[in-house]
Amino acid sequence: MVDKKAFHNLSYGMFIITSKMPDGRLVGCIANTFQQVASDPVKVSVALNKDNVTAQAVEGSLEYGVSVLSNDATMELIGTFGFHNSLETDKFSDVEYSLDTLGLPWIEEACCANFSVKATEVIDVGSHFLFIGTIEEARTLDAEAPLTYDYYHKVLRGKTPKKAASYLGDLNEDAKDASGEDNSVLEVIADEGEGACAPKYGWQCKICGYIVEMDELPEDFVCPICGAGKDMFERIAL
């Protein structure tokens, strides 16, 4: 028996993985799979979905940048890199960044460290490529503590997109009770709402987790984070 909920006990960080297309276009995505995997020599790895433009860019260039997100990362920043396609969106147009010695973008805002990696091995692990590599350059930034996946889910109320390595299919549906409410979200609300007055209501995007506080959404409402329409929002207590 495989209890999928066991996977919820795995701890992850949150990272913006960047790379460059052959034509020089800068690309990037969100991943929770960057880690150090050996000490002598120091090696790291990241798993990226094969359908991601960033994965294809890394497969071609064998180089990637890693920006370690911190607790002050906004849903707007995460949404820009996590819920859009790098070929359709210039993800760097409204983001502060600099270039490392490989010419890869390092995100300057809401990040506590950056790494530049040269991939030495590419392993096909099914839905994802695992890029193992060596560190070319690294630095720390003056920022908040590193953002964890748990904090992203419970405090920022973020969702796991289908292309993430940790996506578990319909497990989120399993977490819903008969009323259709998401217990994990309600648990957070209950913690925050102790002693509060009458509950307020808002709408949450089922794709990216973005929350808007208003009684009714206009027909033409579009999620500012992932672009989903009104029909992808569900009513929640705030």
79 versus 133: smaller Cβ distance to Fe ion: 79
Residue number, 190 or 214, with CB nearest to Fe ion = 214
- Taking the least distance from each CB to Fe ion, the nearer of 147 and 207 is 207
When the beta carbons of 14 and 223 are compared against Fe ion, the nearer one is: 223
Closest approach, Cβ 220 to Fe ion, in A, equals 15
- How far is residue 134 CA from its own chain's centroid? 23
Are 28 and 64 spatial neighbours (Cβ–Cβ below 8 Å)?
no
Q: Which residues neighbour 188 within 8 Å (Cβ) at sequence distance 6 or greater?
A: 154, 155, 157
CA separation for the pair 238, 231 (Å, rounded):
19
DSSP of 137-157, one letter per residue?
EEEE-S-SSBPBHHHHHHTS-
| Token representation of residue 72 | 């002050």
CB of 227 to Fe ion, least distance (A): 7
Pick between residue 26 and residue 226 the one whose CB is nearest to Fe ion: 226
Measured CA to CA, the distance from residue 14 to residue 33 in angstroms comes to 8
Q: Which of residues 179-238 bind Fe ion (CB under 5 A)?
A: 205, 207-208, 210, 223, 225-226, 228
Complex with Fe ion: residue 4 or 162, whichever CB lies closer: 162
For residue 218, the minimal CB distance to Fe ion (Å) is 15
User: Would you say the C-alpha torsion 149, 150, 152, 153 has a positive or negative sign?
Assistant: positive
In the beta sheet, which residues pair with residue 68? 15, 113
CB of 116 to Fe ion, least distance (A): 31
State the binding string over 129-158 for Fe ion (x if CB under 5 A, else -). ------------------------------
Interaction of residue 30 with Fe ion, rule CB under 5 A:
no
CB of residue 86 to Fe ion, shortest distance in Å: 18
Smallest distance, Fe ion to C-beta of residue 158, A: 10
Owner of token pair 């307020």: 200
Q: Rounded to whole angstroms, how far apart are CA atoms 191 and 186?
A: 9
Residues that bind Fe ion (CB under 5 A): 205, 207-208, 210, 223, 225-226, 228
